[in-house]
Structure 1
Amino acid sequence: DDREGRALIVGQAQAFSHEFGVDTFRNHWFTAQDPHVAVMEAGVVGMYKMGANYPGLGAHVASATYAVDPAAQGHGIGRALVVHSLAQARSAGFQAMQFNYVVSTNTPAVALYRNLGFVIVGTLPQAFRHRDLGLVDVYVMHRFLQPA
């Protein structure tokens, strides 16, 4: 079943393409960091992975990547995943969360992250090849994590 890969490969907000392949996606997604999934009656509808943004002296800042199945979007799954990841990061001792690659045209994600206290700290010009819009900017977003 390729359902868990569809959210990233079919989507227009991740750097994966159809040529990336579901097996390569699975290897990248589920072996690199700490994966978490959201499950409903239909199965896996969303996921995130989280870990240190950078090793060593940068390991106090977490980073996470999220995906929600397009068929399940608009039901609070993304918000639940981000809120869960913030709690996990805080309990793991991270002092901040940074998103390194937020596609600027992914307005629901940008709005969600802003609503949850993230700010845009940088813009990477034309860093994403959008399927329909061509080259679009990518944001780096950041927020500090307050003690629980």
Structure 2
Amino acid sequence: MAYVIKTKKSEVELPYLPKNGILKNGIAVTLDWYKEADERELFEILRYIVHEEGDSYPQDEMSTLEDFRSYYLSHDVFVCKNISTGELIGGFYVKPNFPGRCSHICNAGFIVKTSSRGYGAGTFMAEAYLQIARDLGYLGSFFNLVFVSNESSVKLWRKLGFTEIGRVPKAGKLKGRDMTDALQFYYDLTTLPKLIMK
């Protein structure tokens, strides 16, 4: 049986949020805590990724808001929006990868709307994630399944200094592909400098 990790939201203040940035296409974006009003847009992004693309998340079902809530909204969630239009272009959750005595190691799940990919939104969120995860009290970050076919994700974690600690052969039967290996990445969050993001 897989781990059961109790739902819990942090009560930590992150004084550097909201965090603003500019993507490669010149779009000004802001990263902040998820709000209930973001639910439908965030759900639709993940639903599309799981059902239509089927090549980056292990789930093969994400049809209902209940599915989405229990998986994606169980812990801390952050969203990235276009400042001018208010459009939600992506987001990520941060939650323990393991229960109890190992709950100081977190996991995250990043999603970016198709029309906003290739402009650095993932990098903007990933860089912020490291500081956020550390400030939420986690000591390490562990990604269990980064499919080798997800080249942009693999490249991003290597660029940010994650250590590749394993490979899971034939980890997923992805849409339009044969069985695909997955890489595992770890980051020691205690090595981050104690700086406040601006």
TM-score clears 0.5: yes
In structure 1, the partner of 2:158 is: 114
* Residue identity opposite 1:8 in structure 2: I
How far is 1:137 from its partner? 0.6
Residue from 83, 103, 111 that aligns with 1:67: 111
Tell me the TM-score normalised to structure 1 length: 0.88
- Is the contact between residue 78 and residue 91 of structure 2 (CA under 8 Å) also seen in structure 1? yes
Structure 2 CA distance for partners of 1:77 and 1:30, relative to 1, 3 Å: same
Say which SS state the counterpart of residue 45 (structure 1) adopts.
Answer: strand
Say which SS state the counterpart of residue 119 (structure 2) adopts.
Answer: coil
2-structure distance, mates of 1:111, 1:56: 31
- Is the contact between residue 101 and residue 139 of structure 1 (CA under 8 Å) also seen in structure 2? yes
Identity over aligned residues, as a percent?
Answer: 22
- Is the contact between residue 52 and residue 63 of structure 1 (CA under 8 Å) also seen in structure 2? yes
2-structure distance, mates of 1:3, 1:62: 24
How far is 1:67 from its partner? 0.9
Structure 2 CA distance for partners of 1:101 and 1:66, relative to 1, 3 Å: same
For the pair 1:4 / 2:48, whether they are aligned, the reply is no
Say which SS state the counterpart of residue 20 (structure 1) adopts.
Answer: coil
* Structure 2, unaligned runs of 5 or more: 1-39
Say which structure is richer in helix: 1
2-structure distance, mates of 1:26, 1:112: 25
In structure 1, the partner of 2:185 is: 141
CA-to-aligned-CA distance 1:94-114 (integer Å, 9 cap, x gap): 221111111111000000010
How far is 1:144 from its partner? 0.8
Aligned 1:1-148 pairs, distance under 5 A = 3-9=44-50, 10-11=52-53, 12-17=55-60, 19-40=61-82, 41=85, 43-145=87-189, 146-147=191-192, 148=194
- Is the contact between residue 7 and residue 46 of structure 1 (CA under 8 Å) also seen in structure 2? no
* Structure 1, unaligned runs of 5 or more: none
Say which SS state the counterpart of residue 152 (structure 2) adopts.
Answer: helix
2-structure distance, mates of 1:37, 1:4: 12
Structure 2 CA distance for partners of 1:30 and 1:63, relative to 1, 3 Å: closer
- Is the contact between residue 29 and residue 35 of structure 1 (CA under 8 Å) also seen in structure 2? no
RMSD: 1.9
Larger Rg: 2
